[in-house]
Amino acid sequence: MNLQLRKDYSQEALNIANSRVTEFENRLLPKMEAVEGALEAFADPSFQLLLVEAQKTAASTERPADYDLLSELLIHRFQKGDNRVTRAGISRAVEIVDKISDDALLGLTVFHSVNYFFPASGIIQQGLNTLNDLFGKLFYSNLPVGSEWLDHLDILDAIRVSNFGGLKKIEQYYPEMLSGYIDIGIEKNSDDFNKAIELLKNNGLPQNILIDHELNSDYVRVVLPNKDHIDTLALHHQIVNNGQLSIIKVPLTDAQKNIVKSIYDLYKKDAGIRQQNVNKFMEEWNKQPNLSKLREWWDNINAGIQLTSVGKVLAHSNAQRCDKNLPPLN
């Protein structure tokens, strides 16, 4: 190759790189403008250095989706930049965006989402619909199989792989995480049922906190996906303001939260009945196409996996790229 030909190729490469950086910046700025105060981050020298690294990565990647992913990482840097561990993870994530393979990024994102995102609704069908919709957005390509994608992520410091132990199967994992859907509850018309109703009446709590158990009509349960979500319960009060009827949410008092906790203490304990609930829950799970696909994929991962701070921010940013309504990473 003569000198002139090399010069021509160098100029072409420079033009491509500049075009990619421009496209990245065109996607970044609107996202930053949409977040209150985010543009002020450009005055931070450390943020400017990270931006330079992001521009370098944008210049070297051939995937347009990486521009959005880099943008999400920079927004996350603005939102969580006070945490040095998070900052270090974001910096490393920016470095590897152009190195991570498509299937490995997808697998990482789905793995993180299983561990991080759970439905807020206490109604089982609504909760399953929410999860099914979420994974439908995340399944933008074929899920990875085998172990090569895991080795790839391990090399990039996104995960730690262990051959000792493995992952809990979906049938075990989600009934534990969504135990409010699975736990037996209180038998209708029993002494414990009457106690629960009395507790609610005497403490200004509505009886509709208890609903018919969708998996066993002989029981009622608290309308929560998990006992740990008691803090999310609120009372709905109707008020008239300027002639307009509106509803306001009033959080439960600490005393009322304790009452709800005491209702959980009235739940029946029976391993056999609970397993029947698990079986019925998984029947409903398998009716959801994306959840059925997730179960088949997850249950065939034959390794222990632990996400690093790098993997978490990268996976979360990619999930937010796929679904703009997802909450930020804590």
User: Quick check: 250 and 234 in contact, CB under 8 A?
Assistant: yes
pLDDT score recorded for residue 3:
45
Q: What is the pTM of this model?
A: 0.89
Provide the token pair at 128.
């399953």
In whole angstroms, give the CA distance from residue 52 to residue 50: 5
pLDDT tens digits in sequence order for the chain, 330 residues long: 444 445 555 778 888 888 999 999 999 999 899 888 888 888 889 999 999 999 999 999 989 999 999 999 999 999 887 788 888 999 999 999 999 999 999 999 999 999 999 999 999 999 999 999 999 999 999 999 999 999 999 999 999 998 777 899 999 999 999 999 999 999 999 999 999 999 999 999 999 999 999 999 999 999 999 999 998 888 776 666 666 666 777 888 999 999 999 999 999 999 999 999 999 999 999 999 999 999 999 999 999 999 999 999 999 999 999 998 998 887
**Amino acid at site 267:** Y
Amino acid at 152: H
* pLDDT at site 246: 66
In 3D, which of 94, 140, 119 has the Cα closest to residue 309? 94
Are 322 and 140 contacting, i.e. CB atoms less than 8 angstroms apart? yes
Which pLDDT does position 328 carry in this prediction?
85
Closest Cα partner for 128 from 292, 6, 12, 300?
A: 292
Q: Provide the CB-side half-sphere exposure for 216 (13 A, CA).
A: 21
